[in-house]
């Protein structure tokens, strides 16, 4: 049977504007993708669209919640299973961001716990935030069960292996793609995401339309 799903061309600003208009106050939103530069770019676009509507917004990235290098690279820097399972401090992300921002009032957060450049704690302060502030979190694997439960909506960026290889450093491609193939098989982000953008070129995405 032929699939009833199709892709329609859109623009980053157009998509971000529509999504910003649809998000409820206080939503926790993920931008999920294999290429960190793409997830960060779309997270900024969504944040800009929210600010244009005079809505408070918080933006952070998964790399601000990595575990220390000695733990991440315990099995070597090229291990895709470690990248999928162990690079992110999931408990810290829930404790400092996802859980407190899921409260209706008295919301506080810590924007990051870790600085990848120095391999040290970021020492970011805990901050009070407006009750209606929208969180935008950029990173991969956000539709894993242990992460999805802390998010209210997720945009998934669908990218071919060839596009990933063009957009990540050559020395990282094997690790990223190995982990990403496992994620696609185990977490089914194409089926579970609230929106899907085919992102071969992040400047010219196409949005999945489900029949």
Q: Is residue 192 one of the residues assigned to a domain?
A: yes
pLDDT digits (tens, 9 = 90+) for 64-76: 999 999 999 998 8
Q: How far is CA 106 from CA 26, 56, 109, 148, in A?
A: 12, 15, 10, 23
**Tell me, what's the pLDDT at 2?**
42
pLDDT digits (tens, 9 = 90+) for 12-38: 999 999 999 999 999 999 999 999 999
Q: Is residue 180 one of the residues assigned to a domain?
A: yes
**Phi, psi dihedrals of residue 8, rounded to the nearest 5°:** -120, 135
Query: With 90 as the cut, is the pLDDT of residue 181 above it?
Result: yes
**Tell me, what's the pLDDT at 4?**
61
Q: Is residue 60 one of the residues assigned to a domain?
A: yes
Of 115, 172, 109, the C-alpha closest to 140 is 172
The dihedral sign for the CA sequence 209, 57, 138, 192:
negative
Q: Is residue 141 one of the residues assigned to a domain?
A: yes
pLDDT digits (tens, 9 = 90+) for 135-173: 999 999 999 999 999 999 999 999 999 999 999 999 999
CA–CA separation, 36 and 60 (whole Å): 12
DSSP code per residue over 136-169: EEEES-TTSHHHHTT-SEEEEEE--HHHHHHHS-
Q: Is residue 1 one of the residues assigned to a domain?
A: no
Helix (H) or strand (E) holding 207: strand 206-209
Q: Is residue 157 one of the residues assigned to a domain?
A: yes
Query: With 80 as the cut, is the pLDDT of residue 110 above it?
Result: yes
Residue 43 sits in a domain of what CATH number?
3.40.50.300
Domain that residue 49 falls in: 6-209
DSSP code per residue over 63-119: GGGBPPHHHHTTT-TT-HHHHHHTSB-HHHHIIIIITGGGSSSS-EE-S-SEETTTT
Burial zone of 127 (CB within 10 Å; 0-12 exposed, 13-18 middle, 19+ buried): exposed
Q: Is residue 162 one of the residues assigned to a domain?
A: yes
CA–CA separation, 51 and 64 (whole Å): 22
Q: Is residue 14 one of the residues assigned to a domain?
A: yes
Query: With 50 as the cut, is the pLDDT of residue 1 above it?
Result: no
**Phi, psi dihedrals of residue 143, rounded to the nearest 5°:** -100, 10
How many domains is the chain built from?
1
Q: Does this model's pTM top 0.85?
A: yes
pLDDT digits (tens, 9 = 90+) for 3-14: 567 999 999 999
């Amino acid at each position: 049977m032929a699939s009833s799903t199709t892709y329609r061309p859109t623009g980053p600003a157009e998509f971000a504007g529509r999504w910003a208009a649809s998000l409820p106050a206080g939503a926790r939103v993920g931008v999920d993708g294999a290429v960190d530069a793409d997830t960060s770019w779309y997270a900024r676009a969504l944040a800009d669209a929210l600010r244009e509507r005079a809505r408070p917004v918080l933006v952070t990235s998964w790399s601000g919640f990595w575990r220390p290098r000695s733990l991440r690279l315990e099995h070597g820097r090229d291990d895709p299973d470690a990248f999928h399972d162990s690079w992110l401090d999931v408990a810290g992300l829930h404790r400092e961001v996802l859980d407190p921002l899921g409260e209706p009032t008295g919301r506080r957060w810590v924007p990051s716990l870790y600085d990848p450049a120095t391999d040290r704690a970021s020492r970011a302060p805990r901050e009070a935030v407006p009750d209606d502030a929208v969180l935008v979190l950029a990173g991969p694997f956000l539709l894993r069960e242990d992460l999805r439960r802390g998010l209210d909506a997720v945009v998934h960026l669908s990218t071919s292996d060839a596009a990933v290889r063009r957009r990540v450093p050559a020395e990282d491609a094997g690790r990223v793609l190995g982990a990403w193939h496992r994620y696609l098989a185990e977490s089914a982000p194409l089926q579970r995401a609230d929106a899907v953008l085919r992102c071969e070129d992040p400047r010219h995405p196409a949005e999945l339309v489900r029949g």
